[in-house]
Structure 1
Amino acid sequence: MTEQSGPKALVDYAVGAERVGFDFEVSSDHYSPWLAAQGHAPYAWTVLGAVAHATERVELMTYVTCPTVRYHPAVVAQKAATLQLLADGRFTLGLGAGENLNEHVVGEGWPPVDQRQDMLVEAIEIIRALHTGELTTYDGEYFRVDSARVWDVPEHPVDLALAVSGEKSVQRFGPLSDHLVAVEPNADLVTAWNATDGAPGIGAGGARAIGQIPISWDPASKDAAVERAHDQFRWFAGGWAVNADLPTTAGFAGATQYVRPEDVAEAMPCGPDLDEIVEKVRPFWEAGFTDVALVQIGDDQQQRFLDEAAGPLLDKMRAAAG
């Protein structure tokens, strides 16, 4: 999570996560942290390039990149192709409609949600076209590409994973993507995806449903874990309709001032109990998700989590998931 650790630490944690047995690693792509207490926001693509070089086996993914305001989609196409080459085919480009927090910084404003989704459709079309390696000109409502070509392209195009939140977004983006991304274990999303014409089937059809859940493991006590989660992750309680539109860390601090520690503890597993974490993750695989990313909250216990808890936790989750 680029919002809670510096770039060198992130690379070290990525290497450690591969060593302990994780199958894949996802990276947020932020210009700002959610809350000032998190304290970091290095450039995700530089970090991912270093991680690609420092690891050998683990899959990599952006979770997720907005290719419409802060980045032009032609630039996203180029850097995704480059990263795929550095990672020897281990990279998936996760895409979404973005958050005001990160996109407003370039001074282009923050469009309403319907327009953001229209822009995302054009961005996907541009990225797909440029990943063919062919000379591309594109004249859309929001983006223009003038005689562009990505010169270094991987042998196989980069898979695209699209963030969806409801049936409308599933129907729109399912046919345009290779995999589903969602942060809630909603079985209706998987069902709707598999029922959408043109969307690759999740599971047997080769598509993946990739979820994410925050956890706050702490070897000492549940109280310490809850305190850290409340300090750094209470923004999560607002829901994505709110999270997408607030522009600053001060806005998130104000919007979450009445979120209590017990509210955070109810929303995510906190403390030393690995079985509790497994039970909180269980709804994802029961909903049909194929992959789940764990976000260990806070930098201060990250290395200890990898050294002491991650291996046993992976064993427990794999056994529980069958």
Structure 2
Amino acid sequence: MTSANSPNLIGNIEQWPIAGSFTISRGAKTEAVVVVAEVRRDGLVGRGECVPYPRYGETPEAALAALRAMQEAVADGLDRMALQAAMPPGAARNALDCALLDLEAKRSGRRIWDLLGRRAPEPCVTAYTISLGSPPVMADAASRAAHRPLLKVKLGGDGDGERIRAVRKAAPQSQLIVDANEAWTESNLEKNLAACAAAGVTLVEQPLPAGNDQALARIDRPLMVCADESVHDRTSLEALRDCYDAVNIKLDKTGGLTEALAMADAARALGFDIMVGCMVATSLSMAPAMLLTPQARFVDLDGPLLLASDRDNGLLYEDSLVYPPDAVLWG
């Protein structure tokens, strides 16, 4: 039975224009569409943000409907541990999980990392994304970002060798990581990996389609390969040990920070390096992921840098250095 002091769950869809456009192998977009969950109780508001991803059959409307379906359970006192079984992993659960964590921190008057017994995040270098395009266009973008220490280069299949050579020439001092977004095939895998290795790339992310990536276990990998679409939560880790050296943990895939932290612990125990990643979104999406950065070898939380503007009280970015969130934003 609910009462006047019961938590109240509200969900909203928001659109945030991107500065220019953001292009990967699956297409381009000019705005980030996010879903925000707010859990209100005793005058306090806990917030969480997610980005429903069509690659996994998600839409903003379906995520919002999934949140609204949880309103009664939240009013009846659902906590984030019970939430893990009450909703499947995915974007909607992420927004609610993070909102409940934010509310928990606000009610206690403590920072969330202290409540969870985790290391406090510190300022760290985030990757900055170079969108997929022609070699000259990508070289121009890389040249303008060449002062940044870590660039994440989106590739897309045919012509990727030329693209990565152009980016390397334009940004000779930056560390490069590559994201193929499942666009390579078994026939061009070794050629593209060799081109990346020749360009001094440190890591290649998800070169082959999820579920068709066993070829990675049969070749000599000349550089680190990281799973993204192939890995979602802890249950998907064990099967990837022969194919990948690292895993990209994104809260929208794990279904929230609660599972993401447990997944990071499990991944490290299995010998994986960790990347903490994001979708293009506001600082409200990035803030919870900052708790994963003490365990991460690579941090890719540049979503707000790709927007025309961020929400109020967003994360502080000094070029590629990102700072932990203030409590007024989250946690």
Shared fold (TM-score greater than 0.5)?
A: no
TM-score, length basis structure 1? 0.39
Higher relative helix content: 1
TM-score, length basis structure 2? 0.38
